Structure 1
Amino acid sequence: MLDMYTNIYTMRQDLERLKKPIGTKENPARTCKDLYYGYPKFKDGWYWIDPNLGMPDDAVYVFCNMTVEGETCVFPDVRSSKIINIPWRRTSRDDAWFSDLRGGFTITYETTGVVQMNFLRLLSSYAYQNFTYTCVQSKAWFDQENLNHNKAIKLMGQDEQIFSIDTLQPNVLTDGCAASTGVSKDKSRTVFEVRTETLSHLPLVDFQPTEYGLPNQAFGFEAGPVCFK
């Protein structure tokens, strides 16, 4: 009888965890939205989710923005998420992407994985991501000297969708790289925001710089998390 009651109690606990997962590695939620519905008083922070609802072994660690009712924010891999301002040698191709440059690379999300990212898209209706271009004598969007966008960079999404002045335009939150002079080097930055309901467009994986290669020029970048709603 004791064994039977113990088993019933254990089964009841397991069922309760399935109904209201708490966002731990052993008991991950499906998304941050599900976690918010179960525990609306949970604070913003890092939680475990398992969008494909398989074994918790493939659960991923994400940032849950509970302030806005449970956005699931996936950060790029640390090693590919940013780089400080450094001079870059120009290639023979004017249309070279950052990953084509010597020492360049793509922005990766291997810690989340393709499968979990795809399921997260299926469970969402909207996504957005910020991208910051830092600069020294290097334009990113508007050219204040020539009053045009001829030196605007391009951003590439997961499905090779291009965001640029000529295609789908990203939102420009601030454009500190528009002027070559008059801005402190550590504050010269242009911040882009991509918002889309076509979830295959995100996350961002590459960008195409345009003004670089001279001794007085340098650029860097930082990719923010892609947040699903």
Structure 2
Amino acid sequence: RAESCPVFDWGEHRPFQAAPATRFSLSLPLQLEYAGASPVQLRFLRLHSRLASQKVSYSCRPALEQGQPQPEKEIHFLADSREQSYAASLQGCVPDNESSITDTIFQFTTEELSLLPLRDLAVFHNGDTSHQFGFTVGPVCFS
């Protein structure tokens, strides 16, 4: 499903009201990198484009307790400008009958070309330490 994400400053975090937010610590590179996408190449693409788009797939495995409601999560995506980011809420993993993994697709399309490619992401939650998730970050397309 497609999500509409508001844009705000990266340092600004609006945690959920019910409980303090926790940021996951992962042994991953600090920021997303794109092979062959040097600053010069990105500048050239931006000069010759009107739109930029990028897709991110969020995959999660529902908890074993099927009857338990999953807590809502918030996700932030850092823009290439490193001054703004996108924010979205996730309703938690909802199991379906076809697969044990649930996917949510975020499609970013903008005329503000300095926002893409995405450079970092953060997931905030309300104490759900059993949450299993992953991301697939697609290429950025300029047109």
TM-score (norm 2): 0.66
The structure where strand makes up a greater share of residues is: 2
Counterpart for residue 202 of structure 1: 116
Q: With CA pairs under 8 Å and 6+ residues apart, which has the higher RCO, 1 or 2?
A: 2
**One-letter code aligned to 1:132:** S
Q: How many residues align?
A: 114
User: How high is the sequence identity, in percent, across the aligned residues?
Assistant: 31
Deviations, residues 59-104 of structure 1 (Å, cap 9, x unaligned): xxxxxxxxxxxxxxxxxxxxxxxxxxxxxxxxxx9464x7xx2302
Secondary structure, aligned partner of 1:116: helix
- Distance in 1, matches of 2:128 and 2:22, equals 14
Q: Larger % of helix: which? A: 1
- Tell me the C-alpha RMSD between the 2 structures: 2.9
Q: Deviations over 1:113-144 (max 9, x none)?
A: 11111111111111111111111248xxxxxx
Residue 163 to residue 210, structure 1, CA distance change in 2 (3 Å): same
The equivalent position to 1:178 in structure 2, one of 56, 71, 91, is 91
Equivalent AA in structure 1 for residue 85 of structure 2 = I
Aligned letter for 2:86?
A: F
Q: 1:213 to 1:181 in 2, by over 3 A?
A: closer
Unaligned runs of 5+ in 2: 1-19, 64-68
Alpha-carbon distance in structure 2 between the residues aligned to 1:125 and 1:181: 37
* SS of 1:204 mapped into structure 2: coil
| Structure-1-length-normalised TM-score | 0.43
CA distance in 2, matches of 1:205, 1:191: 17
* Deviation per residue, 1:6-32 (Å, 9 max, x gap): xxxxxxxxxxxxxxxxxxxxxxxxxxx
Counterpart check, 1:112 vs 2:27:
no
1:152 Cα offset (Å) = 2.5
